[in-house]
Chain A
């Protein structure tokens, strides 16, 4: 499903305000609220529905598994066709959530970490509904919590999301490398982070997951203030992770800052595309449905077995 189709389907979905969700303490209830409403919306969409059995044939190419050759078609047409099946089920779905200090920032009543938690919970719940095995990794500069993927680990994962520990500076390379080593079975890995690092460094940290055969999606979560830099007052800006301060006159820097952020996001998108990693930028003011649609679109692409 392309992005236009997802947006069209989104019109029928129920909007879930992140700030409203923030007032719900139970993550499972949050996930259910999001996902159930989302699914109800889906039923009204004629274009969606990756769960239908769908198969097609394509010509055999050297290297294709001979077990996938459709011999009946061969019998009728005397040509080799490979049978393409419907999507896999019971896949591993692991959400890697960045819980570093920078994720604790938020201006609209919900922090990036809360948004990431809601998003992670919804994704896990949704995947669990799809009979996927769900797992969770929270990390800052190291792995804080690790819930191995399992069909019965949804509650553990939600519990782990609930007890995010003390804020610490974050890093992608170390924790994701560790995660890469731990995930022996291919699956879906969704990385939720604000990605404050150089694009090349981020790409190098995530690429190993892709190299290990995982389908990787990177959800880049940013606060609106980080994107638009809506600050008015000249002030000393303090880095949440390093504690460094810098006198800033926002009006004077806003344009340059925006261009830098846009360039950063564009560089990330380009690098991830090159590495066949799905990338999406999420504004914490945008309802979670949007994130789920994006996830579903990703799953649709990944569900096709070649």
Chain B
């Protein structure tokens, strides 16, 4: 039995009142004059005290009445199987949902959750059936038992908190699915969780069907303190043929108390390379920048680690930095170019970091096929296309997937014998200098080149004034037009490659576009698009599916990996800071990779299609082929979800109200969580106790009337 207002049980002290009245007060208040106490003094006084309480029935009535009244005001109610059994008839189908997200590893929360789950199992009635399901981002349905509870308890005992993040929606949907197949009249879900705010997606979480009762058992702690490493950032610097990586770690203190002087250690490939100390204010974020380290020609496994706290799983953050994250750009200009014809292009490319661009400028007469093959993107800057073997190499590379940007100026020509790469037909020039120039009138913001400008105040492409441009009859899709309708940027797919034609120059002669702030991002976006740049993730999050075939396993350098190398030598692949995906590279679907979990255990991926597997542990997964030795494969850094480190919780009652079926439990029988107030309101034991107390008082009044002098006392 529990009480809604246990503090009012202090009213039980009131039972002392009738006892005191019977013992003491009445004798002291009444004085009876008597002729002589001669005889009374002869009676032993001890017998007087021993038998001081008279009218025991009256005293018991009064005491019992006080007890009932005190209990009534304390609002008692039955909990557990007794109360549940009294709530309705028939067996129950109970799904015990046990949150095993990594936040449940905080302190002794998991132990409390296990105890709550086992308590729920013990409270099952003989006619009840129950299923235990563990959930984080995914739901794992455990054993289902009708009478054998030991299996449920054993499953609960075996379970441990995982590394996933909390998601209530799938768990509730799975539980509702389990209940839907039940024939038992009463269906309940017992949700045991720390009720993190981050786990509740109010817009997408499930709605429970009518008739399903949701009971919540919060086991989280009210006041939590947790310092977590939320992310890493890598800044590359080229230095003497190698890259210097500066790592920054972002720490979050999710506590009302400051975290003073915490040591943050940077580990590269398991070796400690630097350590810093940082103090965090309450609920604050700090960024720690470590000393740079030199990146060898192989992926570096970077880990930032701080001292373990109550939730140790988020005290380390992992990332993989791949070597060679820069994109080579070949700029071909005319034999006699203007003095600064490629100045703006090269300077704009030089400031690129993600990815970085290595631009090479060469005259169209001096370009070699090797230079063409080494480039990811070629820019024909106001010149004719190369002829001969460079021209053929250019066409072959473009058809193979390379990108080509044709900048059309007064020196641009496209002879008939040139490769058919131009996305249109080039004719004359249009001079609009006399009308203060033109501007871009139409821009396809849905295209990847212009997508970053689609948001408000993210760059005004129409601010550039264009005084002259080439008249161009597009043969592909027009991505931008001038305000007179002439094509400004035209795209054409050639084989696997992409060709863009810009009908004006990218210098300061025919327009001032190169002087505008939008020029640099425009050029970077164009290079990424043409180079099929895929921004790789330095780390992934627990729960994601990983497909080795989608990301070529070049890893530790495709040079010795035995995997099909990238013909152009691009260090492409997942896990790096960036790269150009070469569609011709990568393993074939028939290759089954060897996957080692962060704990070093081999992961069987033979059962999954295409070798995909779920990243379920934080740390570094190693993926390699059978020909590779240990440590030579590619590494996938996996971290827990940063949102899960935020232990702030929400009110379970609000959750129950949000996911319960419309109509409420009254209409549906039981469709929402029964809180203590609900239990008490349903059972209304206080009413019976109050009525009993009042009845006893009425009886007491009647009995006392038989002893009028006592009643007055």
Which A residues fall within an 8 A CB radius of B? 101-103, 105, 112, 194, 196-197, 223, 226, 231-242, 244-249, 251-253, 256-257, 260-261, 264
Contacts A249-B54, A251-B54; A105 near B34 (Cβ below 8 A): yes
Contacts A247-B48, A249-B48, A260-B43; A233 near B709 (Cβ below 8 A): yes
A255 and B710 CA atoms in complex are apart in Å by 20
Q: Mark the stretch among B25-33, B158-166, B655-663, B665-673 that contacts chain A.
A: B25-33
Smallest Cβ-Cβ distance to A231: which chain B residue? B32
B35 within 8 A of A: yes
From A103, A194, A231, A246, contact of B37 by CB (8 A): A246
> 19 A-B Cβ contacts within 8 A?
A105-B35, A194-B35, A196-B36, A196-B38, A226-B35, A232-B709, A233-B30, A233-B32, A234-B27, A236-B28, A237-B31, A238-B31, A240-B33, A242-B37, A247-B48, A252-B54, A253-B43, A257-B39, A264-B39
Task: Please state if B32 and A235 are interface contacts (CB–CB under 8 Å).
Answer: yes
Smallest Cβ-Cβ distance to B41: which chain A residue? A246
B445 within 8 A of A: no
Task: Please state if B34 and A239 are interface contacts (CB–CB under 8 Å).
Answer: yes
Prevailing SS type, chain B contact patch = mixed
Task: Please state if A238 and B27 are interface contacts (CB–CB under 8 Å).
Answer: no
A232 and B40 CA atoms in complex are apart in Å by 15
Number of B residues near A (Cβ < 8 Å) is 27
Chain A residues whose C-beta falls within 8 Å of the C-beta of B32 in the assembled complex? 231, 233, 235-238, 248
Chain A residues whose C-beta falls within 8 Å of the C-beta of B31 in the assembled complex? 235-238, 245
Task: Please state if B710 and A233 are interface contacts (CB–CB under 8 Å).
Answer: yes
A26 and B52 CA atoms in complex are apart in Å by 46
Chain A residues whose C-beta falls within 8 Å of the C-beta of B446 in the assembled complex? none
A239 and B31 CA atoms in complex are apart in Å by 10
Chain A residues whose C-beta falls within 8 Å of the C-beta of B47 in the assembled complex? 252-253, 256
From A240, A241, A252, A260, contact of B48 by CB (8 A): A252
Interface centre among B29, B32, B36 (most CB of A within 10 A): B36
From B41, B42, B54, contact of A234 by CB (8 A): B54
Closest 4 CB pairs of A and B: A235-B30, A102-B35, A233-B709, A196-B36
Task: Please state if A249 and B36 are interface contacts (CB–CB under 8 Å).
Answer: no
A233 and B711 CA atoms in complex are apart in Å by 10
CB distance from B50 to the nearest CB of A (A): 9
A197 and B38 CA atoms in complex are apart in Å by 8
B51 within 8 A of A: yes
From A223, A226, A232, A260, contact of B707 by CB (8 A): A232
A236 and B31 CA atoms in complex are apart in Å by 5
Contacts A232-B710, A234-B52, A249-B52; A257 near B30 (Cβ below 8 A): no
A240 and B41 CA atoms in complex are apart in Å by 14
Number of A-B contacts (CB under 8 A): 100
Task: Please state if B40 and A237 are interface contacts (CB–CB under 8 Å).
Answer: yes
A253 and B50 CA atoms in complex are apart in Å by 12
B282 within 8 A of A: no
Q: Of residues 1 to 54 in B, which have CB atoms within 8 Å of A's CB atoms?
A: 26-43, 47-48, 51-52, 54
CB distance from B59 to the nearest CB of A (A): 12
B713 within 8 A of A: yes
Chain B residues whose C-beta falls within 8 Å of the C-beta of A103 in the assembled complex? 35
Task: Please state if B36 and A102 are interface contacts (CB–CB under 8 Å).
Answer: yes
Interface centre among B35, B39, B710 (most CB of A within 10 A): B35
Task: Please state if A233 and B37 are interface contacts (CB–CB under 8 Å).
Answer: no
A241 and B54 CA atoms in complex are apart in Å by 29
Chain A residues whose C-beta falls within 8 Å of the C-beta of B34 in the assembled complex? 105, 237-240
Task: Please state if B30 and A105 are interface contacts (CB–CB under 8 Å).
Answer: no
CB distance from B427 to the nearest CB of A (A): 127
Contacts A249-B51, A251-B54; A260 near B39 (Cβ below 8 A): yes
A232 and B707 CA atoms in complex are apart in Å by 8
Task: Please state if A233 and B36 are interface contacts (CB–CB under 8 Å).
Answer: no
Chain B residues whose C-beta falls within 8 Å of the C-beta of A246 in the assembled complex? 37, 40-41
From B43, B54, B710, contact of A257 by CB (8 A): B43
Chain A residues whose C-beta falls within 8 Å of the C-beta of B27 in the assembled complex? 234-236, 247-249
Chain A residues whose C-beta falls within 8 Å of the C-beta of B35 in the assembled complex? 101-103, 105, 112, 194, 196, 223, 226, 239-241
Smallest Cβ-Cβ distance to B26: which chain A residue? A234
A241 and B35 CA atoms in complex are apart in Å by 7
A238 and B54 CA atoms in complex are apart in Å by 21
Contacts A196-B36, A241-B36, A251-B54; A233 near B26 (Cβ below 8 A): yes
Chain B residues whose C-beta falls within 8 Å of the C-beta of A223 in the assembled complex? 35
Chain B residues whose C-beta falls within 8 Å of the C-beta of A248 in the assembled complex? 27, 32, 40, 48
Apart from the given pairs A257-B40, A260-B42, 12 other A-B contacts in the complex at a CB distance below 8 Å: A233-B26, A234-B26, A234-B27, A234-B52, A235-B32, A237-B37, A239-B36, A241-B36, A246-B40, A247-B28, A252-B47, A260-B43
Smallest Cβ-Cβ distance to B53: which chain A residue? A249
Q: Of residues 436 to 465 in B, which have CB atoms within 8 Å of A's CB atoms?
A: none
Task: Please state if A240 and B39 are interface contacts (CB–CB under 8 Å).
Answer: no
From A112, A240, A253, contact of B40 by CB (8 A): A253
Task: Please state if A256 and B43 are interface contacts (CB–CB under 8 Å).
Answer: yes
A237 and B40 CA atoms in complex are apart in Å by 9
A221 and B34 CA atoms in complex are apart in Å by 15
Smallest Cβ-Cβ distance to A223: which chain B residue? B35
Smallest Cβ-Cβ distance to A241: which chain B residue? B36
A241 and B41 CA atoms in complex are apart in Å by 15
Smallest Cβ-Cβ distance to A244: which chain B residue? B37
CB distance from B49 to the nearest CB of A (A): 9
Chain B residues whose C-beta falls within 8 Å of the C-beta of A234 in the assembled complex? 26-27, 30, 52, 54
